Chains A and B, each alone.
Chain A
């Protein structure tokens, strides 16, 4: 075992001992009252605003049974609606195709415009954007390093 490992192990043992010997911190006096107050507030809620597990059995069982029936019903209804929607949507789909063609022609025009721009300009723009992004990132990083509170543990304090 190297001397570094030995010192590291010693430090771990000492810190562990110091922390384990720490007594518990006393909870605020207000904690108990807050918990009891919250429990009382919850108790004042009507039954239907509490968890289903606490609902009366006379309500809970029909609700669960109703949900069990609803699931297959919703599934069947969804399938029926989907089949119906395909036939209804045939008309709007035609107009969507027209819209897609207009969008495609806009794309072609945009491509022509981009091709007409000198490549140096495009490259310059990309480099400028990347530089601005990096500068902003660096600025935030420097700001973080200056403002983020970190303990000072200069060697002078330890020796």
Chain B
């Protein structure tokens, strides 16, 4: 069994299954952005996301027999990427969960309307590239306990109850964290100059990776 590296050097793979070398490489190329995006949006750490993506594709290789012709390969990869990332985060989460629950400040109602206005501006006034960069930056700078449920709710469309079960927190806390996450994200976008005159300084590059 052989696979081609980027430099087209043949790589021998021990497997009794007849995996077409180019087929797995093509499979990986087709899905690697999706897998990486899933992991990096949850971890906000590109290095960890790359490790997780690697593990996802190693598992995909083990199951390639079933995945190669499956219409659900993308869904399978996304689920594995999400589960591996959540397992990774759970290992570190016990350290901050206690205090994050003690210091749970209320989100004020008067913050909702301006937050909605910020997102309205993001949608209507920003060019796609600029919007993409600012939104990813703001998302990455949210604390884990807000970003993780927010990403799972909006990107993975996971219901509140499933989120509470998966994250091991109460339903009320899930809802509160998502709500706070939205308002906090609006605040970060506003800080970066969304809805402000164009000469307003933008956020510095993402520093989230340095925090973890």
Contacts and interface: CB of A to CB of B under 8 A. Distances in A.
Interface of A: 4, 7-8, 10-12, 14-40, 42-45, 47, 50, 54, 140-141, 144-145, 148-155, 157-159
B3 A151 contact: no
Instruction: Determine the main DSSP class of B at the interface with A.
Output: helix
28 contacts: A7-B113, A8-B112, A11-B119, A24-B37, A27-B32, A27-B33, A28-B46, A31-B57, A32-B25, A34-B54, A35-B57, A35-B58, A37-B5, A39-B3, A39-B61, A40-B3, A40-B11, A43-B13, A54-B14, A54-B16, A140-B99, A144-B103, A145-B99, A148-B103, A148-B143, A151-B184, A158-B186, A158-B190
Nearest to A140: B99
A103 to B, nearest CB: 37
Contacts of B184: 151, 153
Contact of A25 (B36, B190, B211): B36
Interface residues of B, number: 72
B188 A151 contact: yes
Contacts of B183: 11, 153
Nearest to A19: B154
A141 B101 CA distance: 11
Nearest to A15: B182
Given A27-B53, A38-B58, A150-B143, A17 B123 contact: yes
Contact of A27 (B36, B61, B116, B142): B36
A30 B110 contact: no
Given A15-B154, A27-B32, A30-B50, A153 B111 contact: yes
A10 to B, nearest CB: 5
A32 B29 contact: yes
Given A14-B119, A14-B120, A39-B3, A19 B155 contact: yes
Contacts of A34: 50, 54
Contact of A153 (B123, B135, B186): B186
A157 B32 contact: no
Given A43-B12, A151-B141, A35 B28 contact: yes
